[in-house]
Amino acid sequence: YGTEVGQNEKLYAAYQAIRDSDEWATLTPAQQKDLDNTLRDFRLSGVSLPAEKKKQYMENAKRLSELQSRFSDNVLDATQSWSKLVTDESEIAGLPDVARAGAADKAQEQGKDGWLLTLDFPCYYAVMCHCTNVALREEMYRAHTMRASELGPDAGKFDNSEIMNEILALRQKQAELLGFASYADKSLATKMADTPQQVIDFLMDLARRSKPQAQKELDELRAFAAENGVSELNPWDISFWSERLREQRYDISEEALRPWFPAEKVINGMFAIVEKLFAIRIRQRDGVAVWHADVRFYDVEDENGEQIASFYLDMYARSGKRGGAWMDDCLGRVRHRDGSLQKPVAYLTCNFAPPAGGKPGLLTHDEVVTLFHEFGHGLHHMLTRQEVSGISGINGVAWDAVELPSQFMENWCWEEEGVALISGHYETGEPLPKDKLERLLAAKNFQSAMMMVRQIEFSIFDMRLHSQYTPDMNIGKVLDEVRKDVAVIFPPDFNRFQNSFSHIFAGGYAAGYYSYKWAEVLSADAFSRFEEEGVFNPATGREFRDKILSQGGSREPMELFVDFRGREPSVEPLLRHSGIAA
C-alpha cells in the first residue's frame, strides 16, 4: 500500500506543483522540510520510473513484504517449536527465582508438573547466565543458534537461508531501478550518514579503539574460568562465567537489586527527573478507556499547567502480548485546517514481570534502563512543538538519529542523584545503599568492549551485505570475514546467527543497524554537556528540550546537534562512558 501511494503520479504532481510555485516561499521552514521529505519519499518509491520499471518495482516491493513476514514468522515458529520439560529440579540448579517461577507456570499451563524451558529470550538468557548444568546450557545454545536454519532440532523446517538470499537480491534490484549503486546507498538517502564507506570507516575506527580491550576482557574471563576448573571456554560457557566473574568482582547481581526498584517508585522517580529537567509535570488521569487493567493513562503539562500531551503506560508481561519494549505514536501533534490543535498521545509498552506472591512489580536495574529508554522516545514524541504531521514528534527524524533521546535518557539511571530518586526498598522505602550503588556503577562497564565489538560486528555485517552485494554472495562467509576483522569471540561453525537476524531481514534496520552505535555517539556527547554544567541543570535541560526534543524532524539532525552542543559530535565521550581507553 505504501509503495502504491508513493507511486501515485497525480499526488506527486500536486506536491511538486507547490514546490515549483511562488507559494513555496510563503511556507515555514518546517513545512518546506515536510514537503521536501514527501517528494523524496515519492522518488524512493519509484514514482518517476517508466511504466514497466514502475510495475517491476511494485512487484518487488510486494514480494519483499511477503519474504520479510515469512522470515519473521520462521524465527517465531522456530523459537516456539522447541521446549524442554524438566522434572528433576537439580537440572536447573542456579536458575533465578523469577525465571524458575515462569518455567513452572508454563509447565502448569500445559497441565504438566515441573519446569518448562523455552527459547523465549528471558528464559534462554536466564539459563545461559545462571544454570550450573553445562549439558543443559549446551543443548539450549545449540537449539537457539540453529533456529530457522538447515541445522538443529527442526532442520530445514523453518529455514530462512533461501529467503535471505532472495531478500538481498530484490533489495539490490530495487536500488538499481532507482539509480543507486547498492541498497545501502538507497537506505542512506534518508539518514544522517552520507555513504556506506563513511559508515564502515566510523565502525572500523570504533573497532580499532575497542578491540584491544575486548581481547583483554576475554583473556581475563578465560583465566577466571580456568581457575574454576574450566580449561576450555565453550560458547555456552561465556555468559555463565561472565556472570560469575561479575558477581565475584563487584559482589552484585541484577536479581539481587530487584527489591530496591519497585515499579511504582521507579515510575514516580522517572517522572520527577524529567519534571526537573524539562519544566513539565506528569499527572495520572483516571476514567480513560484502556485495553487491560494494568494500563495507565497520564497527561503531560507544561510549566503553566497547560496539558500538552498524554501517554498510555503498559508495563507488565501477560499471555498473548507481544514481547519486548517499545514506544509507538497513537496521535501526533497536528494543527488542523480549522485552527484546532491535535495534541500528541504515545503508547509506552514494556514486558516486566508482573506483581506476584504478594510482592509489587520489582525491576532489575537493566529493566529500569529499558523503561527510561522507551520514555526518552516518548518525550521526543510528546514534547514536540511542530504542527505538521510528517515532521512532528518522531516523524521525519532520520533513522540514525531517532535513538538519540532514548539513549540519552538512560544516563540518569547511572547518576547518583538519579538513582536516589528511582530506588526505594519495597518493604522499607530505603534508597539503594551507597555501597550497592558504588558496585552497580563499577560494574556498569563490565565487558563493555566485548559488547562494543559484538555490536560493531553486526553493524559491519549488515552494511557489507547491503553495499557489496553480488548474486553469488555467501552470507555466512561475509559474516566470517567481518569477524576476522573485528571480533574476539568466534562462534562454532554450526552457529546460524544470520538466520534469525530479524533486525535487518524483517525489521527496519537493513543497512541501518549501525544506527545504534551512531546514536550512542550522539547521546553520550549530548550528555557530556550535562556532566559539564550539572546533570540536573534546568537551563541545560530546557535547552535540550527546545533544541532537540521539540524540533521533531523539522531540521537535519546534525544541525540540531550542533545547535545544542556547539560543535559536531565526538566519539570520545562514548568511549569514556563505556570505560574504553581510546
Catalytic residue list: 374
DSSP string, 550-571: GGTTSS-HHHHHHHHHSS---S
In this structure, what are the phi and psi dihedrals at residue 193, rounded to the nearest 5 degrees?
-65, 145
Tell me the three-class secondary structure of 323-369, residue by residue.
CCCEEEEEECCEECCCCCEECCEEEEEEEECCCECCECCECCHHHHH
- Decide the pairing of beta strands 334-335 and 326-331: unpaired
Closest CA relative to residue 18, chosen from 6, 30, 5, 32: 32
Task: Return the amino acid letter for 144.
Answer: H
CA 173 distance to own-chain centroid: 28
Q: How does DSSP classify residue 429?
A: -
Look up residue 547 and give its three cell numbers.
533544541
- Give CA–CA dist 375/311, Å, rounded: 10
Task: Return the amino acid letter for 536.
Answer: F
With 0-12 / 13-18 / 19 or more C-beta atoms within 10 angstroms meaning exposed / middle / buried, residue 98 is middle
- Give CA–CA dist 258/356, Å, rounded: 13
Q: How far is CA 110 from CA 107, 356, 395, in A?
A: 5, 20, 43
Look up residue 355 and give its three cell numbers.
506483581
Name residue, grid cell 561472565: 242
Look up residue 408 and give its three cell numbers.
540519552
Asked whether 104 and 111 are in contact (CB, 8 A), the reply is no
- Buried-state track 138-151, b at ≥16 Cβ within 10 A, e below 16: ebbbbbbbbbbbeb
- Give CA–CA dist 334/344, Å, rounded: 8
In this structure, what are the phi and psi dihedrals at residue 230, rounded to the nearest 5 degrees?
-105, 100
Closest CA relative to residue 386, chosen from 395, 376, 373, 375: 395
Closest CA relative to residue 144, chosen from 86, 59, 186, 81: 81
Q: How does DSSP classify residue 24?
A: G
Q: How far is CA 166 from CA 55, 59, 450, 495, in A?
A: 19, 14, 32, 21
Closest CA relative to residue 79, chosen from 123, 21, 16: 123
